[in-house]
């Protein structure tokens, strides 16, 4: 399996395509498939505006190329959480590996009896629609876990920060900038151990749609 997990700023450098909207992002994905033969691409933290995107939302965009390197792009739009978190990139990457493997193993054999797990790079047959790709199913679950964990971390963050300030006697001010930065960074750490069920069995709310 080869999955390129990348942010919009990096895809611009690799593709040499100026990313201005969802259309140009789709073109950049096609360039990466064609130029580098990358079978699976996932772009995180996409903040490009689009008529069907709600306000204060982000999206993840992905694609699995066909046998002739054509893109099959999909996007998943989800509400943004106005908060800083530490470790989201590592979490997304780790969950993608697990969920992609799960989605591939759950894919039935094709009409010729071929099992996807035995095919190079786990690249689905050209007839598979973008929203039915194992990559799309995997990212749906990844985002479900991410959204649950980040929401619960955000809810607990403010209370945790206040308790730390009270404990240090800084609730009425007095913390220097470095101290506050350290406290906020600690409070922003993802609450993974406490949210194991969100990792194991998340409720999928946000579905992939074709680009």
pLDDT > 80? residue 120: yes
pLDDT digits (tens, 9 = 90+) for 54-74: 888 999 999 999 999 999 999
Tell me the three state secondary structure of residue 57: strand
Tell me the three state secondary structure of residue 104: helix
Range of the domain at 55: 3-210
pLDDT > 80? residue 186: no
Cβ atoms of 43 and 63 closer than 8 Å: no
pLDDT > 70? residue 203: yes
pLDDT > 60? residue 168: no
Distances from the Cα of 101 to the Cαs of 107, 110, 117, 120, 191, in angstroms?
10, 17, 8, 13, 24
pLDDT digits (tens, 9 = 90+) for 8-55: 888 889 999 999 999 999 999 999 999 999 999 999 989 988 888 888
Six token digits for residue 52: 């069907």
Give mean pLDDT, residues 68-87.
90
In this structure, what CATH number is given to the domain that contains residue 12?
3.40.1190.20
pLDDT at 24: 95
- Cα–Cα distance between 80 and 87 in angstroms, integer? 16
Percent of the chain with pLDDT over 90: 56
Select the more confidently predicted residue: 9 or 163.
Answer: 9
Cβ atoms of 75 and 60 closer than 8 Å: yes
Lay out the sheet containing 73-79: strands in order across.
3-6, 40-46, 57-64, 73-79, 209-210
pTM: 0.84
As for how many domains the chain has, the answer is 1
Q: Which residues lie below 8 Å from residue 102, measured CB to CB, with a gap of 6+?
A: 138, 141
pLDDT at 74: 98
Q: Which residues lie below 8 Å from residue 94, measured CB to CB, with a gap of 6+?
A: none
């Amino acid at each position: 399996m080869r999955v390129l997990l990348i942010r919009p700023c990096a895809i611009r450098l690799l593709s040499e395509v100026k990313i201005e909207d969802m259309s140009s992002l789709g073109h950049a994905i096609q360039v990466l498939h064609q130029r580098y033969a990358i079978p699976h691409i996932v772009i995180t933290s996409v903040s490009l505006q689009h008529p069907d995107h709600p306000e204060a939302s982000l999206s993840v965009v992905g694609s699995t190329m066909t046998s002739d390197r054509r893109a099959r792009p999909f996007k998943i739009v989800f509400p943004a959480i106005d908060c800083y978190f530490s470790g989201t990139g590592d979490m997304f990457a780790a969950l993608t590996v697990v969920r992609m493997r799960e989605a591939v193993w759950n894919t039935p054999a094709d009409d010729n009896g071929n099992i996807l797990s035995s095919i190079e790079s786990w690249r689905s047959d050209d007839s598979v629609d973008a929203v039915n790709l194992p990559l799309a199913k995997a990212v749906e679950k990844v985002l479900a876990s991410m959204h649950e964990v980040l929401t619960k971390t955000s809810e607990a963050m403010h209370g945790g920060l206040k308790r730390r300030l009270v404990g240090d006697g800084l609730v009425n001010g007095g913390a220097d900038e470095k101290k506050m930065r350290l406290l906020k960074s600690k409070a922003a750490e993802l609450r993974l151990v406490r949210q194991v069920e969100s990792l194991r069995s998340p409720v999928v709310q946000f579905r992939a749609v074709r680009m």
